[in-house]
Structure 1
Amino acid sequence: MKPFCFADGEIIESKNATIHPMDLGLIRGYGIFDFFRSVNYKPLFLDHYLDRFITSAEKTYLPLAYNREELKQIIKELTDKNDMEQGGFRMVLSGGLSDNHFSPAKGKLFIFPETLLFPSEEKYSNGIKLLSLDYVRPIADIKTTNYALSVWDSIRWKKEGAEDALYHRDGFVSESSRSNFFIVKEGKVITPNKDILLGITRKHILQLTEKVDIRPVTLSEVFEAEEAFISSTTKILLPVTQIDEHKIGNGKPGPISLDLLEKFKLLEKENSY
């Protein structure tokens, strides 16, 4: 975490940021957040992230006291104050102090600039392993702060040498705990269309893809895919070479996945100057 954050309506030292212990974000796990990267002092695709954050606040009935331009100004001030050439910004809107300790209320807005660590080069070169998990994230189209199951399940990932989980339900896959999921079959990029967060990185990857199909994806066809990968703000595009004990394709990152990764890096450069 960087030295300065936004909390209580002003920029303060991050170590002094507080939240009431009865806030719904703590006692009910109710709140929203979003996360974006900054490159060369410029937030990448900021309007897309603000669109999602503002919409999430509306859908979760959490009052957001700042409009888009005010949020941009706060982020600009935090960038300058923390000398944020590179890194990440985490926006959090808590569930608030509720009279009945249950209904959404007026929460607190935090914006935390953070140091950002990408996965190791080895993971991009060799791919990663996912573990399938029968689960659908509640209100999946909203980036809520409720990650209880995935935090709990992460102990299993570590024991089995996996990077993350792959959620599925009734034979259909949806997403990873913090990433969107894709497969490649016959040269076409395929990604699930329901029970998912509409990722900003996912959105741009689809725009870079010539042959794409957005539709239900079965777990059985995932195991037969030629390639697979996940995408997120903090991973960009990470090849998946194993799911459970099933090798994906030839067990190595595929050409389409790697090509899209390079195309996204070029897009990032174009949007950071």
Structure 2
Amino acid sequence: MYVYINGQFAKKEEVMISPFDHGFLYGLGVFETFRIYNGHPFLLDDHLERLNAGMKTLNIDAAFSREEVLKILKELLAKNRYKHAYIRLNVSAGNGEIGLQTESYTEPNVIVFPKPLSPPVEMAEKMAVLLDIKRNTPEGGERLKSHHYLNNVLAKREIGNAPDMEGVFLTQEGFLSEGIVSNIFWYKDGILFTPAIETGILNGITRRFVIALAREAGLTVREGFYKQEEAEAADEIFLTNSIQEIVPVTSFSGTDYPGKEGRIVKALYKHYEAHRETLWSRIQLGGIVND
């Protein structure tokens, strides 16, 4: 497998970074994961928008355009002979002296990792379980998709490696927040609910896109602070993730749900499926933006 690193393409076994990289020493790095569908990087503009904002927060003096990243992706896909792929675009602060740095990082390490994926066939269902470990609070004003993943790793250890299970965090105050690698939604009485970003969750790209899809379809969407009992009373529950797409939930806290047979999740997935080989941004959905 070939990866991209700092302007070059190399076999994965040959890729190296310095131990003086502040992404390694202090966790100063951000990343985006997204899918390539038949050569198209779905919602790439939205991912780059979030990546560029995260780099600004970390004082990394860099920004990526669609054209720049597309050039990398096209060559990377060609070298690996992939048409459908998982992509991780990773930016770490770059090399520095040992010690905390206040000046801007001007030479970040940029690595793009691909993995082959099969063309999607249908939604994959999961069971959702409440985690004992609580969601930590963001390191700054809002949660970045950053290298700080210990809370997620500890949560994953709690539930194990079962591929059909996702753990759901509560905040320290007892409000629903998000999954280990997903955002959570539920439908009840004509309304689609999801925790607000003020709970400290990652404002997922697929989360934003699904909110836009739902509103475009005429659904009422409410973001707020909710207790687990409110989700448990739902007609349908599903998770969202840029790689796994829309994931229907079959059980949560001992209650069964219709999973992929749910009316709302089937309708949303149909719209999602229709757009994934063409859209660059959620903004293209009738101009609806959810920030």
Do they superpose with TM above 0.5?
A: yes
SS in 2 for 1:258: helix
Unmatched 5+ stretches in structure 2? 281-291
* 1:114 pairs with 2:115: yes
Moved more, 159-168 or 224-233: 159-168
Q: For 1:249-268, what per-residue CA distance to the aligned partner results, in whole angstroms no more than 9, with x for missing partners?
A: 46885321232122211222
C-alpha change, 1:156 and 1:38, in structure 2 (3 Å) is same
Partner of 2:94: 96
The match for 2:184 among 181, 186, 191 is 181
Q: Distance in 2 between matches of 1:269 and 1:242?
A: 31
Partner of 2:210: 205
Partner of 1:51: 49
Q: Distance in 2 between matches of 1:71 and 1:179?
A: 25
Q: Distance in 1 between matches of 2:49 and 2:18?
A: 27
Q: Distance in 2 between matches of 1:183 and 1:42?
A: 29
Q: Distance in 2 between matches of 1:259 and 1:238?
A: 13
Decide whether the 8 Å contact of 2:42 with 2:277 is kept in 1. no
Decide whether the 8 Å contact of 1:173 with 1:192 is kept in 2. yes
Q: For 1:148-189, what per-residue CA distance to the aligned partner results, in whole angstroms no more than 9, with x for missing partners?
A: 122133122128887222122112112112111111111211
Identity %: 26
Q: Distance in 2 between matches of 1:120 and 1:151?
A: 29
C-alpha change, 1:113 and 1:93, in structure 2 (3 Å) is same
C-alpha change, 1:82 and 1:192, in structure 2 (3 Å) is same
Q: Distance in 2 between matches of 1:240 and 1:135?
A: 20
C-alpha change, 1:112 and 1:24, in structure 2 (3 Å) is same
The match for 2:150 among 139, 148, 151 is 148
C-alpha change, 1:98 and 1:50, in structure 2 (3 Å) is same
Q: Distance in 2 between matches of 1:247 and 1:171?
A: 19
Q: CA deviation at 1:20?
A: 1.4
Q: Distance in 2 between matches of 1:118 and 1:224?
A: 34
* 1:230 pairs with 2:232: no
Query: What is the aligned-residue RMSD (CA, Å)?
Result: 2.8
- Aligned-partner residue type, residue 268 of structure 2: L
Q: CA deviation at 1:16?
A: 1.1
- What aligned pairs does 1:30-109 form with structure 2 within 5 A after superposition? 30-64=28-62, 67-103=65-101, 105=105, 106-109=107-110
C-alpha change, 1:10 and 1:152, in structure 2 (3 Å) is same
Q: For 1:89-121, what per-residue CA distance to the aligned partner results, in whole angstroms no more than 9, with x for missing partners?
A: 111111322324333744311011112369997
Decide whether the 8 Å contact of 1:136 with 1:174 is kept in 2. no
**Aligned positions, number:** 267
Q: Distance in 1 between matches of 2:118 and 2:145?
A: 21
Partner of 1:138: 138
Partner of 2:288: none
- Aligned-partner residue type, residue 250 of structure 2: T
Partner of 1:129: 128
Unmatched 5+ stretches in structure 1? none
C-alpha change, 1:100 and 1:58, in structure 2 (3 Å) is same
SS in 1 for 2:276: helix
Dislocated runs of 4+, deviation >6 Å: 117-122, 159-162
What is the TM-score of this pair, normalised by structure 2?
0.80
What is the TM-score of this pair, normalised by structure 1?
0.85
Decide whether the 8 Å contact of 1:131 with 1:162 is kept in 2. no
Decide whether the 8 Å contact of 2:20 with 2:97 is kept in 1. no
- Aligned-partner residue type, residue 248 of structure 2: P
Q: For 1:204-252, what per-residue CA distance to the aligned partner results, in whole angstroms no more than 9, with x for missing partners?
A: 2112212211222222312222221110111111112333x33154688
Decide whether the 8 Å contact of 2:188 with 2:235 is kept in 1. yes
Q: For 1:18-61, what per-residue CA distance to the aligned partner results, in whole angstroms no more than 9, with x for missing partners?
A: 11123222233331100111111121121111111111111121
C-alpha change, 1:77 and 1:215, in structure 2 (3 Å) is same
Partner of 2:165: 163
C-alpha change, 1:68 and 1:102, in structure 2 (3 Å) is farther
Q: Distance in 2 between matches of 1:68 and 1:6?
A: 16
Partner of 2:289: none
